[in-house]
Structure 1
Amino acid sequence: MYRLRPDYCYACQKSGEVQVVFTVNNRNNVACLKMDRIIFGWRLRTAYAFLVDGLAIESGPAHFKKQMREFLAANTLRQAVFSHSHEDHAGNVDLFNQLGITPLVHECALANLTLPPPVPLYRRIVWGNPASGKCRTVGSTIETDRHTFQVIQSPGHATDHICLYEENEGWLFTGDLYVGEKIIYLYDQEDIAALKKTLHMLSNLHFSVIFCSHRGPLQKGPDAFRRKLAYIEDLEEKAQDLQKLGLTPRKITYRLLGKEDYMYLISGGEFSKTAFINALLSQKK
């Protein structure tokens, strides 16, 4: 087991009204590292990393480097893997390199982690500036002393996205592919067609627990991906039916998802309801 007790919580007041909260819970011998940043009482988006049998899955964002270093120093770390190169998942690659670990990633993630692209201001506020570091290409499986994880190519959210599947335990580590069953925004790097194929593929696996990098461990199973896919396909059909009636994408968006809100404004359009509808309208039946 892990040297930090279950439900261990490390919290520090950074400056003014900015607080960092780092909580560790054990689930099925998987240490679930929950990372929250609170600004003026407003909790920003939660990120999770995991440690199982010496394997770290995700690194967490740069804002949590100190807490990750403390946790990893107190526990056995033999290898690491990142689901993709976004800064909330791979923001501390330098820390792993300092600990003698070269993380495993999709081959398309290597360039972004060697020389991270510029990050918009709102993402720097939420996650911090991602570090650069050395990684290597992941194979088809990852072996630990007790587990074999199948590496599943899973594009949609990002081209360099992978999932980890431990069939004997019924675990699926999903990065950003679950998050929730009903989405209303499209991130500008997402590919709806690829996402639908990935959701269909994951829904045919046999697992009981989703380890989501933003929601943590969830007793959901493959039905969660079937429901998410059904939601997207239903929304797609409704959008295309409204287009046949002569409605513009903007009016279809308002009818189905409501007007653009704070996420569109804060992200400078990186997260957009209208972009989601436009992507659905471009799909062929």
Structure 2
Amino acid sequence: MEISEGFHFLKVEKRGVVDSSSLLAIRDRKGFSCVEIGGGGEANIRQTLGLFEASGLAIENLHTVIISHTHADHMGAIAHFRGLLPALTVVDHALDAPYLRDNSLLEKAFDADLVAERFPGTRFSILDFYAAFCPISQTEPDRTVVEGDRIECGDYAFEVLHTPGHHPGHISLYERRLGLLFVGDMVGMEVPFYTPSSGGVEGYTASLRKYLALDVRRILPSHGDPIESPREAVENALAKVGRREERLMEALRLGPRTFHELLPELFRSPSQHVFPGAALLASHLGKLEREGVVGEEPDGRFVLL
């Protein structure tokens, strides 16, 4: 889909447990830049190349990749394309760069140790998860950006927004002239996901509220279709987070509850309690504890204060 002259939204259709992210491709005199590069593995790479070809973009003309955050579906193929294109420039947020250099740090960002604490004998590894469904890779960024920086792409200029919550170094990109906002995984996901080590629920909701202060006419998400009612979509995401918290509060009004007794308030299916349930619940309980609303008793049960 051509959003504006030389500005393409390359949508990836949902087909598996972890799908490659959609991409932005922006033409310029040197070739083209790309926001995201998709997941690793032969099938994902073939899909990305097919998207480029369908839009008339020759892979040898790709000169810059901007990464919203180091999750496999967004950048897992980066090592492959860097090997194919040695002069490729990789742009990443300064807080995301350590994860791009060393994928093993993602275990902390996903709070894998929380699973071991709350589910003794259960091992959760995001790298094992990615290896099974969407391979990841690592590389050294050539340029790091922070909040307020500008990234020039042909006739367009993106303002960098640091939007943590989903990941510590997650960025969104705002093209002010067109009123376009690329949000990565912050809006458009079926299940908004945030972890304590990635900014938690406070970081996630603060990032969403940052969007509401902008003049946005269209949102481009990493998963799903372009969003033509951006304010409504952001407010719906905030409301979904609010409903999660209210369900926890309703349960606690009935009396003390353990961590495991609260998990079904967020996810009915036990298959989701380890991931993503544990991190989401810990994010909400941490927020409520910091606000002085909830406390944890010596026996491990949570109570309203």
| TM-score interval, smaller chain | 0.7 to 0.9
1:169 is matched with which residue: 171, 174, 178? 178
Residue 131 of structure 1: how far off its partner (Å): 4.0
* 1:85 aligned counterpart, secondary structure: coil
Residue in structure 2 matched with residue 60 of structure 1 by the alignment: 38
Aligned to 2:66: 81
CA contact (8 A) 1:155 1:161 kept: yes
The alpha carbon displacement at 1:89 in A equals 1.2
Q: Cα 1:176–1:37, aligned 2, differ >3 Å: closer, same or farther? A: closer
Question: Structure 1 residue 203: deviation in Å?
Answer: 1.9
**What is the Cα deviation at residue 137 of structure 1?**
0.5
For residues 112-132 of structure 1, what are the alpha-carbon distances to aligned partners after superposition, in whole Å with 9 as ceiling and x for unaligned? Answer: 222322753332222113243
Q: Secondary structure at the match of 2:178?
A: coil
C-alpha spacing 1:171/1:75, structure 2 compared with 1 (3 Å): farther
For residues 61-140 of structure 1, what are the structure 2 equivalents within 5 Å? 61-63=39-41, 64-69=44-49, 71=52, 73-74=58-59, 76-94=61-79, 95-96=81-82, 98-99=84-85, 100-117=87-104, 119-138=126-145, 140=149
Structure with the higher helix share, 1 or 2: 2
Q: For residues 163 and 107 of structure 1, what CA distance do their matches in structure 2 show? A: 14
Q: What is the identity, as a one-letter code, of the residue corresponding to 1:44? A: V
- Once residues 13 and 132 of structure 2 are traced to their aligned partners in structure 1, the CA distance between those partners, rounded to angstroms, is 13
Measured against aligned partners, the alpha-carbon deviations of 1:71-92 in whole angstroms (never above 9, x if no partner) come to 3535743422100111211212
For the residues of structure 2 that align with 1:172 and 1:247, how far apart are their CA atoms?
42
**In 2, Cα distance between equivalents of 1:74 and 1:279:** 41
Q: Structure 2: which amino acid aligns with 1:270?
A: F
Question: Contact 1:106–1:160 at 8 Å: present in 2 too?
Answer: yes
How many residue pairs get aligned? The number is 250
1:146 to 146, 150, 155: 155
Corresponding residue of 1:14: none
Unaligned runs of 5+ in 1: 1-24
Separation in structure 2 between the aligned mates of residue 217 and residue 123 of structure 1, nearest angstrom = 26
Q: For residues 238 and 176 of structure 1, what CA distance do their matches in structure 2 show?
A: 24
What is the alpha-carbon distance in structure 1 between the residues aligned to residue 216 and residue 145 of structure 2?
22
> How far has the Cα of 1:275 moved from its partner?
3.9
Residue 44 of structure 1 pairs with residue 44 of structure 2: no
Q: Are the equivalent residues in 2 in contact too, given 1:153–1:161 (CA < 8 A)?
A: yes
Unpaired segments ≥5 residues, structure 2: 108-125, 294-305
RMSD: 2.8
**After the TM superposition, which of the residue ranges 165-174 and 221-230 deviates more from structure 2?**
221-230
**TM-aligned CA deviation for residue 67 of structure 1:** 4.3
Change (3 A) 1:203 1:209: same
Q: Does 1:33 align with 2:10?
A: yes
SS of 1:123 mapped into structure 2: helix
The structure-2 alpha-carbon separation of the partners of 1:73 and 1:115, relative to structure 1 and needing over 3 Å to count, comes to farther
Q: Which residue of 2 aligns with 1:228?
A: 237
Identity %: 22
1:207 paired to 2:216: yes
Deviation of 1:178 after TM superposition, in Å, equals: 0.9
Following superposition, the deviation at residue 173 of structure 1 comes to: 0.7
Please name the residue that 1:197 is paired with.
206
Pair 1:241–1:121, CA change in 2 (3 A) = same
- Give me the whole-angstrom Cα distance separating, in 1, the residues matched to 2:178 and 2:196: 34
Q: Superposed, which structure 2 residues align to 1:14-25 within 5 Å?
A: 25=1
Q: Which amino acid aligns with 2:39?
A: P
Partner of 2:116: none
In the alignment, is residue 270 of structure 1 matched against residue 267 of structure 2?
A: no
Higher strand share: 1
